[in-house]
Structure 1
Amino acid sequence: MKNILVLGGTGAMGAHISQILADRGDKVSVTTRSPRQSLPNIAYIQGNAKEDSFLAPLLACRWDAIVDFMVYSTRIFERRAPKFLAATDQYFFLSSARVYAESDCPISEESPRLLDSSDDARFLATDEYSLAKARQENVLRQSGSKNWTIIRPYITYSEQRLQLGILEKEGWLYRALKGRTIVFSEDIASKLTTLTYGLDVAAAMATLIGAPHALGETFQITRQDSVTWREVLSMYLDVLEKHLGKRPKVLLLDLDDFSHCKPAKYQIRYDRLFNRVFDSSKIAEFVDLQNFRSLEQGLTHCLKEFLEKPEFLAIDWRSEAVKDRFSGEFASLKEIIHWKQKIKYLLYRFLKK
């Protein structure tokens, strides 16, 4: 039995890995900002893992493994990394396959990263997600320790996270369930991508916990196959058509127009406009990728599960207003709870261009 700390372990992968570890008999402590009822072998610790005052007592303990799903600025990670490494036998750092540059060949762990190959000075001057993850990988490699394992998942989905390009479910599925048009990008729709069920990624990660061969190593964990975002959208629409009794409408905009709906310049330019095809042979030495759910099976399952009890996070009403302007539609003001958000919606729907 191992004693494992999971930081921020309630998302698409964290919830699954916590349960997998608990089921195999490990004692799992999970940090969460919201109160949760503890489960057999899973103790939820309420607090903000970004606050030193909350984290310090946890790192004063000795852990067999720490699995870290938190997102940090590079400056903060530089300060925290030595503490993580000192508190555990194996520190799992959740990086991202977004660190990779564009590639004409299937991407492996050794493929060039944007941080090392980009000549975009403005981009490199930022701590954008893909750059921050690569810099934080470097912090671990330069630490003088080898008790770390870097995990690079790509896009993961779950019963509560269903992405379409750069849009979370709040930016596309909410509209469909309200009878409005899904607004998406023609340019992104044509690109190849890889989506992997969070449960499968978590199961693969679990096999690496306590494994000597994983120390000081990097593993990308993705499905081997790639599809276009247009195909992903079609899978979603098939499920929604059966659920709603009609197929949701879709409006595909050119990139300039779509960028007004959802500003995410660097994520689009340096990831979603790349064709992403992965070589998963390294992790395949330790897990059978044939056991991963097929994309259609996994997305269908997760969307159906979500539709049983749909719960959305906060809706971006500025973004919704711009989408409605392009689609010629209107949201009912009854949907918008706060008066400031109502004003924002009306402003961007009718006045601002």
Structure 2
Amino acid sequence: MKITLLGGGGFISSAVQGRLLADGHRLTILKRHPPASSQGVRYVAGERHDPGTLAALAAGRPDAVVDFLCYEAGHARELLEAFAGCIQRLVMISTGSVYWCTGAWQNPVGENQYDREDTLRIPPTPLTPGSIEYDYGTGKRAAEDVLARAHARGDFTVVRLRFPVVGGPGDPTGRYAGYVQRVAAGGPLLLPDGGFNSFRHLYVEDAAAAVAAAVTTPGAGGGYNVASSEMISVRDLVHQVAGCLGRPEPEVVSPPRAWLLERGYGDLFAPFSATRDQVLAIGRARRELAFQPTPYAQWLAHVVAAGQGHSSQPREELEAVALFRRTSGGALAYLDAEEV
């Protein structure tokens, strides 16, 4: 197939590029600054939101378009103006935050919850307009709605893939690598409320496989949650990282989230912490896209192996631990699962 990628060179898009090339597809990639070497790919230099650039891409008559850069309703309308009637299928990379931004969901979250009336209310704190997760989720949700209507009209088939946090070796956010480095340093680790909130994340190679399936699977269409099958907590993550490193599990210090917020720390030291579990149901992707996620322990081991040899802990985290111990008299310094 002739496939156009809007956005290239990023963590997820690079994995998708590799998978689609390995599957024998012909790729055109829109990139602001294309590399000097094409590596079997046709690059187009330009901006995602420039109508002339999109029109030039549409003139190439791709079979499918994968958009990594569609963040709001206006971006979705740009796709319709450029590609309606020119392509067979559009794959939009969306996010689990289209659920979390509503403030109302039941775990595990199935795709049927997206349109439930009681999930569309404006949430109270902590997800309010101006917060990153709220703005990101509502923007993606608005874009999805535009494309869902296009799908219903028959403009072209639209597949919306909802990813949670995506991890793997080379993740530029450093969130997983930070845990590896801190566990290697020996701790103590600061985890809000004990670190017992649960989630499902996604291996970057599984994200690429899901995109490949979304492009090629006959009958695919609509929204799909894509994630690992295991439900993990931050505490589980620390335990598994320690096991991969062959080190004892470090001491965990667990201030209440409110204590951290009052002092300006927030989730600075504990990426993936949340006030509620965030677990995507993946049954539809399994059934309709033949999605088979890599076991979490297997891909986490790759992440840990890539980060071995580096150990560090933020000075601010150690200072926060010391402050909490002084002000709390040691209370809540360590919480077992049975106590939460």
Name the TM-score, length of structure 2 as normaliser.
Answer: 0.73
Report if aligned partners of 1:26, 1:41 keep a CA contact under 8 Å in 2: no
- Equivalent residue number for residue 349 of structure 1: none
Q: Aligned pair 1:194/2:200, yes or no?
A: yes
Secondary structure of the 1:261 match is coil
Q: Aligned pair 1:218/2:251, yes or no?
A: no
Structure 1 residues 78, 278: CA separation in 2 closer, same or farther (over 3 Å shift)? closer
Q: Deviations over 1:271-322 (max 9, x none)?
A: 9322233332211124555x422111111112212447x8xxxxxxxxx675
By how many angstroms is 1:43 displaced? 3.6
CA separation in 2, counterparts of 1:59 and 1:174?
Answer: 45
- Equivalent residue number for residue 315 of structure 1: none
Structure 1 residues 224, 239: CA separation in 2 closer, same or farther (over 3 Å shift)? closer
Structure 1 residues 45, 223: CA separation in 2 closer, same or farther (over 3 Å shift)? same
Structure 1 residues 47, 238: CA separation in 2 closer, same or farther (over 3 Å shift)? farther
Secondary structure of the 1:213 match is coil
* Structure 1 segment 331-346 matched on structure 2, within 5 A: none
Structure 1 residues 11, 181: CA separation in 2 closer, same or farther (over 3 Å shift)? farther
- Equivalent residue number for residue 296 of structure 1: 297
- Equivalent residue number for residue 17 of structure 1: 16
- Equivalent residue number for residue 192 of structure 2: 185
Secondary structure of the 2:219 match is helix
Structure 1 residues 257, 41: CA separation in 2 closer, same or farther (over 3 Å shift)? farther
By how many angstroms is 1:137 displaced? 1.0
- Equivalent residue number for residue 111 of structure 2: 109
Percent sequence identity over aligned pairs: 18
Structure 1 residues 5, 78: CA separation in 2 closer, same or farther (over 3 Å shift)? closer
By how many angstroms is 1:195 displaced? 1.6
CA separation in 1, counterparts of 2:255 and 2:277?
Answer: 19
CA separation in 1, counterparts of 2:41 and 2:254?
Answer: 44
- Equivalent residue number for residue 30 of structure 2: 31
Structure 1 residues 122, 130: CA separation in 2 closer, same or farther (over 3 Å shift)? same
Secondary structure of the 1:106 match is coil
Secondary structure of the 2:202 match is strand
Structure 1 residues 191, 92: CA separation in 2 closer, same or farther (over 3 Å shift)? same
Q: Read off the aligned partner of 1:120 and give its amino acid letter.
A: P
Q: Aligned pair 1:275/2:251, yes or no?
A: no
Structure 1 residues 262, 51: CA separation in 2 closer, same or farther (over 3 Å shift)? farther
- Equivalent residue number for residue 76 of structure 1: 74
Unmatched runs of 5 consecutive residues or more in structure 2: 324-340
Report if aligned partners of 1:106, 1:277 keep a CA contact under 8 Å in 2: yes
CA separation in 2, counterparts of 1:239 and 1:45?
Answer: 42
By how many angstroms is 1:205 displaced? 2.4
Q: Read off the aligned partner of 2:170 and give its amino acid letter.
A: Q
CA separation in 2, counterparts of 1:160 and 1:222?
Answer: 19
Report if aligned partners of 1:172, 1:183 keep a CA contact under 8 Å in 2: no
Structure 1 residues 280, 53: CA separation in 2 closer, same or farther (over 3 Å shift)? same
CA separation in 2, counterparts of 1:170 and 1:255?
Answer: 23
- Equivalent residue number for residue 326 of structure 1: 320
Q: Aligned pair 1:150/2:152, yes or no?
A: no
CA separation in 2, counterparts of 1:178 and 1:51?
Answer: 47
CA separation in 2, counterparts of 1:31 and 1:250?
Answer: 45
CA RMSD of aligned residues (A): 3.7
CA separation in 2, counterparts of 1:84 and 1:210?
Answer: 21
Unmatched runs of 5 consecutive residues or more in structure 1: 311-319, 330-353
Report if aligned partners of 1:102, 1:274 keep a CA contact under 8 Å in 2: no
Which of 217, 237, 242 is the matching residue for 2:242? 237
Q: Read off the aligned partner of 2:285 and give its amino acid letter.
A: I
- Equivalent residue number for residue 161 of structure 1: 171
CA separation in 1, counterparts of 2:199 and 2:142?
Answer: 24
Which of 141, 149, 163 is the matching residue for 2:148? 141
Structure 1 residues 275, 66: CA separation in 2 closer, same or farther (over 3 Å shift)? same
Q: Aligned pair 1:130/2:137, yes or no?
A: yes
By how many angstroms is 1:148 displaced? 1.4
Report if aligned partners of 1:115, 1:131 keep a CA contact under 8 Å in 2: no
Secondary structure of the 1:136 match is helix
Structure 1 residues 154, 119: CA separation in 2 closer, same or farther (over 3 Å shift)? closer
CA separation in 2, counterparts of 1:44 and 1:153?
Answer: 26
Report if aligned partners of 2:180, 2:307 keep a CA contact under 8 Å in 1: no
Structure 1 residues 50, 328: CA separation in 2 closer, same or farther (over 3 Å shift)? farther
**Which stretch shows the higher mean deviation, 75-84 or 89-98?**
75-84
CA separation in 2, counterparts of 1:3 and 1:261?
Answer: 48
Q: Read off the aligned partner of 1:133 and give its amino acid letter.
A: K
Q: Read off the aligned partner of 2:305 and give its amino acid letter.
A: K
CA separation in 2, counterparts of 1:306 and 1:48?
Answer: 34
